[in-house]
Structures are given as C-alpha cells and as structure tokens.
Structure 1
Amino acid sequence: MTKTTAPSIAESLTHDLAIRIMHGDLSEHQSLPGENELALQYQVSRTSVRNALQALGAKGMLSIQAKRRSVVTPREQWNFLDSEVLLWLTESGMEEKMVEQLIVARLIFEPNVAALAAVNATGHDLAALEDAYQLMAEGQSHNQRELFERGDLAFHLALLRASHNPFLLSLSNALSSAMSLSFKQTLEDDVRLTKEALQQHFVLLDAIRLKQVDTARQRMREILLKAAQKRLQNYQPEIFNHID
C-alpha cells in the first residue's frame, strides 16, 4: 500500500491562503495581514507563515517586499503552468472565462504539435499513441472517467514526444498539468457519451500514421473546438476563428 505524506503546516497554510485568493476573499492588490497576525490567526509559527508566503510569491500570486506586507498580485501574473496553481484553480471552481482562455492557449499550441507529430513520429511513437487510445476506449466502454482521462493525457503527451522537438519536450511537465485540468473541465460526466471524442482521436491518430500533416493539424483543432462547444455555455465561435 502506498503511504501518503501529510502536508506540513506551511503547506496547509499555503493551500488555505491560495484558495482564499482564488475565491476573492483576499482580493487583487489587497495587503495580507502581517506575519505576526497570520501566525496568531492560524495558530502557527512565524516560520510557517513566512514559508507559505514565499511559496505563493514564487508562484506569482503574492508580491513580497522586505519590511512590507505581502500584496495579492493581479491574476495575469500568476504562474498558470505551475501544477499546484492549476490544482487550486480546480478546487476553487474554474469560471467559464478561464476555461475559454485555457482552450485558446491549447488551440495556439496543440494543432501544430499534431502537425509535427505527423512529420516526425516513429514506430515507437505510434505504438505509444495507440496504447493511449486503447486506454481511452476502455475507459469509454466501461464508463471509467479516471481511465479515460489517463488515456487522454497519455495521448496528448505522446503527441508532444512524437514532435521530437527538444524545446516542446521541455514544456511537457508543465503542459501536462494544464491539459489534465482542461480534460476535467470538458469531459462529460457520463464517459459513455464520449464516443464522438474517441472517434476524433482515432481519426487524428490515423492522420499521423499516414503522415498527413494538414489533416492532423485540422483534426486536433476540431477536437479542441468540440471540447469548447461542449463546456462553454456562452460558446462564441468568433473567439476562436482567428486562431490558425
């Protein structure tokens, strides 16, 4: 059995402050209480408070200056490729505008990754894509959301590796968290309803296998636009039309 390590006091405090910031309880440009006040409020040591503030500062969520109180930074300064920031965003509830922006970012990036994969994929890469697709298919047929998500993430990471671009590969760890968050936002509650998405991934895989570069790019774009259409109540195609 795998043992899980309980979070430290500083980690628990970091999490609590992060969620309060994301909920707006601690709003943009607001100064946080001083270290002594936070230590008393949370019944923890000043060292734990200082570590928590530094952790949030490193993620761009707080501005920290010597001998001055920490200030909540504007959201555009946060590091959204940080896995913890993305996890906290999921916990706090991701508003539709953020989902829209996440899909825009994926549209800029992933269709061209698919095109590169169609050019550069090896037999090993194709096998990895096929294995990931089979995980998705198994999750869909057995209505196992976790299995489908795992296969979906594996598929898109296999595409990144199939690009054989070292700069893109160096982004894979950060991007995997963003993609995982995106899947959670756009996947149907009943995974058995993902048959169309599964078919789209199969068509994309086939285009890569046949080295059809433009087709692979277009199929990936269609996958992302379909996800946006499913998730966004106020879906506006014109927001995405200018992204090639």
Structure 2
Amino acid sequence: MAGYNGRGVHGQVVDAIGRSIVRGDVPQGATLDLAALQAEHDVSLTVVREALKVLAGKGLVDARQRRGTFVQPRSAWNLLDPDLLAWEITPATLPRMLGELEELRAIFDPAAAALAAERRDENDIALLRARFAEMEGAADSASATTADLAFHRAVFSATKNELLARVELLARSLFEERDRLVHEHVPGSAALALHGALVDAIADGDAAAARRATEDLLGRASDDAATTTHTKAP
C-alpha cells in the first residue's frame, strides 16, 4: 500500500512526520518545531503547514495560540485511519496487530459471508469466481497477495452493506501485510480450497455454509499467520 509516501513531496512529508509520531519517535505532548521540520525535509514552510493540516485531520496533532502545534495524546488519534494503521506496523507491533486483526475478522467475516450469500446477485457471483481464478493463477507471493485482498473485498461488497465494506478498507494495510507474510512463507496454502468452498456457498445462497467456510478459513489463516510472526515487517 503506497500510502502518503506515493503522493509527491507533500505526501512524503505527511508520511514521514505521521510515521515518526505514530511510532513514538516524536512523543505525545511534544511541541513541533516547524522551522526544524522545514529544514529536515528540505521543503517550504507552506508544505510543512499543509502536511500538519492533514495530520490534524487524523487527530495526531493540534495547534494552540502561544503553544504552537503539538502532538495529541493517543486517545485523540483516529486509530482506524488506514494511514495510521500502516504507519504503526513495525517488527515489534506486528504480532499484536495481527492478533487484533484475527479478533476483528472473527467478529465481522462470518457475518459478512452469510450476508453475501443472502444478498449476492449474478454480478457478485461472477466477480467472486473471477477473483478466485486470479488466486488460483497467482504466479508469485505479490500477485497472490493482491488476488487474496481482491477476493475478500468482493465478499464484503456482495453484502450490499457499505459500512461492512469499509471495515475491510480501513484495515487494508494490515490485511496486506498479513497476506504478504503468509504468501511469502506459506506457499500453496491449503486455504485456497477453503476459498473455493466459500465461493460455492455464496453462489448457492447458503448462508450457513458460507459462515462455516469462513470460520474454517479463519482457523487456517490463524495457523498460517502463526508461522510468520517472527518475520520482520518493512
């Protein structure tokens, strides 16, 4: 996931400052020196200020007269912001975050699969089969990760519930990191057949079978992820 780092100079500054705050290099409560940030990133003061506006929208910083711009406490951060999730991934935080992702999926994924089976239409079925075919044809871990993410996005889309679909969107950076690790270290995972069973259950309109297939997938995903928690994140 490119995040702000792929959005030009402005985006690179947002990414760099945001990452330093989220990862604790700049402590909560610290007042930011805008001139120092300008010199550090070799950009104009306007770029720094615009970057801080973006970070303020994410709850990371705020500004007050006489105090200047300062780092907000973590309780004020928008922790579901996709960029914050991406910035927080480190070798130290990855095991905890993957554990939290498993808990999140256990709550949402089976229900989403059941709804998808109840509400899917022919276009959804066609898309799911196409995404599954992409998973089957993935030639390397990168393409397998892309196909896996697209498959689950199609499941959530078939629920016809936009808020559920946003759950996947919000956690996409963590899903991507998890899938990347699994597809790099557990090639030919048995989960592929389980994905196929989920497609069939949704296509058949069988909500109970879709829920069971998803629960089986989550169990497999937990086993696969357990073999990767020692792997360092970027």
TM bracket (short chain): 0.7 to 0.9
Tell me the equivalent position of 1:211.
205
* Counterpart among 175, 185, 192 of residue 182 in structure 1: 175
1:103 and 1:182 in contact (8 A); partners too: no
In 1: Cα distance, 2:185 partner to 2:227 partner: 18
Q: How has the CA–CA distance of structure 1 residues 96 and 70 changed in structure 2, closer, same or farther, with 3 Å as cutoff?
A: farther
Tell me the equivalent position of 2:146.
150
Matched to 1:14, the amino acid is V
2:86 and 2:173 in contact (8 A); partners too: no
Bigger Cα displacement from structure 2, 51-60 vs 217-226: 217-226
Deviation at 1:52, TM superposition (A): 1.6
Superposed CA deviations along residues 40-84 of structure 1, whole A, max 9, x for unmatched, are 444432222211211111122223334423333344543344333
2:31 and 2:68 in contact (8 A); partners too: yes
Deviation at 1:118, TM superposition (A): 1.1
Deviation at 1:228, TM superposition (A): 2.6
Deviation at 1:165, TM superposition (A): 2.7
Aligned positions, number = 222
**Secondary structure at the counterpart of residue 149 of structure 2:** helix
Tell me the equivalent position of 1:44.
43
2:156 and 2:164 in contact (8 A); partners too: yes
Tell me the equivalent position of 2:196.
202
Across the aligned residues of Structure 1 and Structure 2, the Cα RMSD in angstroms comes to: 2.8
Deviation at 1:133, TM superposition (A): 0.5
Residues 157-176 of structure 1: pairs in structure 2 closer than 5 A? 157-169=153-165, 171=166, 175-176=168-169
Residues 77-92 of structure 1: pairs in structure 2 closer than 5 A? 77-90=76-89, 92=90
Q: How has the CA–CA distance of structure 1 residues 164 and 42 changed in structure 2, closer, same or farther, with 3 Å as cutoff?
A: closer
TM-score normalized by structure 1? Answer: 0.77
Matched to 1:11, the amino acid is G
1:135 and 1:151 in contact (8 A); partners too: yes
In 1: Cα distance, 2:83 partner to 2:221 partner: 24
TM-score normalized by structure 2? Answer: 0.80
In 1: Cα distance, 2:214 partner to 2:105 partner: 10
Structure 1 gap ranges (5+): 236-244
Matched to 1:176, the amino acid is L
In 2: Cα distance, 1:44 partner to 1:215 partner: 56
* Pair 1:24 & 2:29 matched: no
1:149 and 1:180 in contact (8 A); partners too: no
**Secondary structure at the counterpart of residue 193 of structure 1:** coil
Tell me the equivalent position of 1:226.
220
Deviation at 1:7, TM superposition (A): 4.5
**Secondary structure at the counterpart of residue 127 of structure 1:** helix
Structure 2 gap ranges (5+): 230-234
